[in-house]
Chain A
Amino acid sequence: MEGELALLGKYIGAGLATIGLGGAGIGVGHIAGNFLAGALRNPSAAPSQMANLFVGIAFAEALGIFSFLVALLLMFAV
């Protein structure tokens, strides 16, 4: 019974942890959207900023990955 309760807690916790990925999604969408807005204003400068776009997306995504990691750890490692 106690073990099942712990299992329940783990699953609920893992599910809650994945909510963090939504934040990463918002962040990535924000970066991509702003990049597109800027690129449409000044299309000639856009290709030179592609690297910065990817780096920004990667950094925003990293924080979501932590919550993903927490979810995985809860599911499989704890």
Chain B
Amino acid sequence: MATEPILEEAPILEEAAGQCVNAHGGAIGMPQLCPEWIPNQVFWLLVTLVVMFLILSRIALPRIGAVLAERKGTITNDLAAAEELKQKAQAAEKAYNDALAMARTEASKIVAAAKADIQKDLDAATARADVEISAKTAESEKKIAEIRAGALEAVDAVAKDTAEALVAHLGGKVDPAAVSAAVSARLKG
């Protein structure tokens, strides 16, 4: 119904003005519903879509897909390499720790051995010193005993001599055996 008056007016307007545009270049009704322009829009839309589809499907999407896959691969590889390096580092650390522990054990063993040696030497020396000391003590005691015995004999002899001399001086007859026995008896008493 609305289209009828437009069609009637169209010849009156300028040539340029079509079915949907008035003489001032303004829109008549809704430009979206203008049948005159639809073939043009559809044609250029199809051309554009085909061009876009070809650009995307032939060039752009495979390229971006390849780049993304490559990046993913690179990241995976890098992560794997990093993991490997990490394991290597851990192994090295373990080896270092092992070596350290071994060295510690060795050192403590050496220290213990040295301590034992020193102890042994010390013990030996102490024992030797003890033996020497006891030997010396025994010798000294023997000497003291000898000296004592000597002194007692000397006392005995001196007493006998003195007793003989006393007896002789008092004018008695000296019987050495009797004197000696008497002195011995007295000394023991």
Give A76 to B2 CA distance when docked, in angstroms: 8
Instruction: Provide the B1-36 mask, 1 if CB < 8 A to any CB of A, else 0.
Output: 110000000000000000000000000011001000
- How many residues of chain B are within 8 Å of chain A by beta carbon? 5
Give A76 to B1 CA distance when docked, in angstroms: 10
Residue A78 at the chain B interface, CB threshold 8 Å: yes
Determine if A75 and B1 form an interchain contact, defined as CB atoms under 8 angstroms apart.
no
Residue A77 at the chain B interface, CB threshold 8 Å: yes
Give A72 to B2 CA distance when docked, in angstroms: 13
Give A36 to B1 CA distance when docked, in angstroms: 48
Closest A residue, CB atoms, query B30: A76
- How many residues of chain A are within 8 Å of chain B by beta carbon? 6
Determine if B30 and A78 form an interchain contact, defined as CB atoms under 8 angstroms apart.
no
Determine if A78 and B33 form an interchain contact, defined as CB atoms under 8 angstroms apart.
no
Give A75 to B33 CA distance when docked, in angstroms: 11
* CB contact list, A7-56 vs B, under 8 A: none
Give A6 to B30 CA distance when docked, in angstroms: 19
Contacts of B2 in A (CB 8 A): 76-78
Contacts of B1 in A (CB 8 A): 6, 78
The interface of chain B, by Cβ under 8 A from chain A, is: 1-2, 29-30, 33
Give 10 new A-B contacts, CB below 8 A, not counting A76-B29, A76-B33, A77-B2: A6-B1, A72-B30, A72-B33, A75-B30, A76-B2, A76-B30, A77-B30, A77-B33, A78-B1, A78-B2
Q: List 13 A-B contacts (CB under 8 A).
A: A6-B1, A72-B30, A72-B33, A75-B30, A76-B2, A76-B29, A76-B30, A76-B33, A77-B2, A77-B30, A77-B33, A78-B1, A78-B2
